[in-house]
Amino acid sequence: MNTVILDATPENISKCAALIRKGEVVAFPTETVYGLGANALDADAAAKVFRAKGRPATNPLIIHVADKSQIDAVAEVSDDARRLIDGFMPGALTLVLPKRGGVPDIVTAGYDTVAVRMPDHKVALDLIREAGVPVCAPSANTSARPSPTRASHVYDDLKGKIPAILDGGMCPLGLESTIVDMTKTPPKVLRAGAVEIDSVAEVIGDLDTEQVMVDTLAALKIPTNYVPKAELVFSAFYDNMSEVIARYYDSNVLTHGARPVIFCMNFNADKYGSRNVMLMGESVAEYAKLLFERIREAENLDYNLIIAEGVPMGGMGTTVLSRLIKLSGGKVI
């Protein structure tokens, strides 16, 4: 199959909406990462998403909507869920809710719950609205690769497997959505993501965050998210973090002939002298946005060791640390 990358013009959005209506899959930008979308009400179309990604059938898809009223068509919405929908949608918060009939089992991996999100991205919203159906969409990477934040990342992973990629430039947040399971009491955070957990708790009270820790720890045993082409390690957030990183860098060059690169905040770059660095911005939020992008860049430049600066715990720092733990399999220096 030939895969075309299409600029996100109104004409091309219409073309892709028509493909979705016909039961095809199309990659499209959202504010978090690129999604691989199909008609969520068509089991055969959803099956194509799993096939293209090599995604296990046990891993359910998130249903994307263009309008809050579309949520009520696929899920039962409680009062607390309604408050979160009103407070955070459109946005990077996914809610797991009791499923209504009409959503094929393949989409929810057989669960009687369904995950829904309304993306805060004009191209995604226009596409879903024109398709006229809710769109099930996981991240548009091959399973076990970093989530794609540019059309070219999708192309690298899925060329030949999908007909079209809508190119809307770089994803503004660059990190997946936060997922909260509203069918549990208290509601349970299933994934730390681009919306801070504390801001969700401010609206509906206490949340169960144990699963985030369990998943993060499980990744130490079975790395799930990322099959590294380059090994990734990260530093704890010490006062002398840059010295620890510089020493680790030099010893790996000397003893293993490694080709390392350091992921560092812009304001720390000078501390690494002539060593290879890639800049992660001025803030933890920018670090979060650039992480997957920089990993793919480092791979393309044939670095075989990524040494990432750690960030302080709390807020988006916690989300970034959970990704670094998963990406590295827990290799902290």
The neighbouring-strand residues paired with 37 are 26
- Shortest distance, position 116 Cβ to ligand AMP, whole Å: 9
| Alpha carbon distance 6, 18 (integer Å) | 14
- Shortest distance, position 266 Cβ to ligand AMP, whole Å: 29
Q: How does strand 305-308 pair with strand 260-264?
A: parallel
Q: Would you give the DSSP letter of residue 187?
A: -
- Shortest distance, position 229 Cβ to Mg ion, whole Å: 18
- Shortest distance, position 152 Cβ to ligand AMP, whole Å: 19
Report how far Cα 97 is from the mean position of its chain's Cα atoms: 20
Positions touching ligand AMP (CB under 6 A) are: 59-60, 62, 96, 108, 111, 113-115, 138-139, 176, 179, 181, 190
- Shortest distance, position 250 Cβ to ligand AMP, whole Å: 37
Q: Which is nearer to ligand AMP, 123 or 278 (CB)?
A: 123
Q: Which is nearer to ligand AMP, 166 or 182 (CB)?
A: 182
Q: Which is nearer to Mg ion, 172 or 186 (CB)?
A: 172
| Alpha carbon distance 268, 168 (integer Å) | 31
Report how far Cα 323 is from the mean position of its chain's Cα atoms: 10
Q: Residue with structure tokens 């399999």?
A: 329
Q: Which is nearer to ligand AMP, 88 or 303 (CB)?
A: 88
| Alpha carbon distance 110, 40 (integer Å) | 14
Binding partner selected for residue 60 from Mg ion, ligand AMP, none, CB under the kind-specific 5 to 8 Å limit: ligand AMP
Burial of residue 186, with CB atoms counted within 10 A of its CB: 0-12 exposed, 13-18 middle, 19 or more buried: middle
- The C-alpha angle 9, 53, 140, rounded to 5 degrees, equals 35
Encoding tokens for residue 107? Answer: 């989409």
Binding partner selected for residue 120 from ligand AMP, Mg ion, none, CB under the kind-specific 5 to 8 Å limit: none
- Shortest distance, position 183 Cβ to ligand AMP, whole Å: 8
Q: Which is nearer to ligand AMP, 179 or 204 (CB)?
A: 179
Q: Identify whether the C-beta of residue 83 lies closer than 8 Å to the C-beta of residue 203.
A: yes
| Alpha carbon distance 78, 264 (integer Å) | 43
Stretch 81-140 residues interacting with Mg ion (CB under 5 A): 139
Binding partner selected for residue 111 from Mg ion, ligand AMP, none, CB under the kind-specific 5 to 8 Å limit: ligand AMP
Binding partner selected for residue 92 from ligand AMP, Mg ion, none, CB under the kind-specific 5 to 8 Å limit: none
Instruction: Report CA-CA distances (Å) from 216 to 58, 101, 145, 173, 324.
Output: 19, 33, 17, 21, 10
Return phi, psi of residue 298, to 5°. Answer: -60, -40
Nearest CA-CA partner of 126 in 61, 45, 194, 67:
67
- Shortest distance, position 57 Cβ to ligand AMP, whole Å: 12
Peptide bond into 187 cis (omega under 30): no
Site string for Mg ion, 133-172 (x = CB under 5 A): ------x---------------------------------
Q: Which is nearer to ligand AMP, 181 or 309 (CB)?
A: 181
Asked if 235 touches Mg ion (CB under 5 A), the answer is no
- Shortest distance, position 173 Cβ to ligand AMP, whole Å: 13
Return phi, psi of residue 165, to 5°. Answer: -125, 125
Binding partner selected for residue 113 from Mg ion, ligand AMP, none, CB under the kind-specific 5 to 8 Å limit: ligand AMP
Q: Which is nearer to Mg ion, 139 or 177 (CB)?
A: 139
Q: Which is nearer to ligand AMP, 111 or 272 (CB)?
A: 111
Chain residues that interact with Mg ion, rule: CB under 5 A: 139
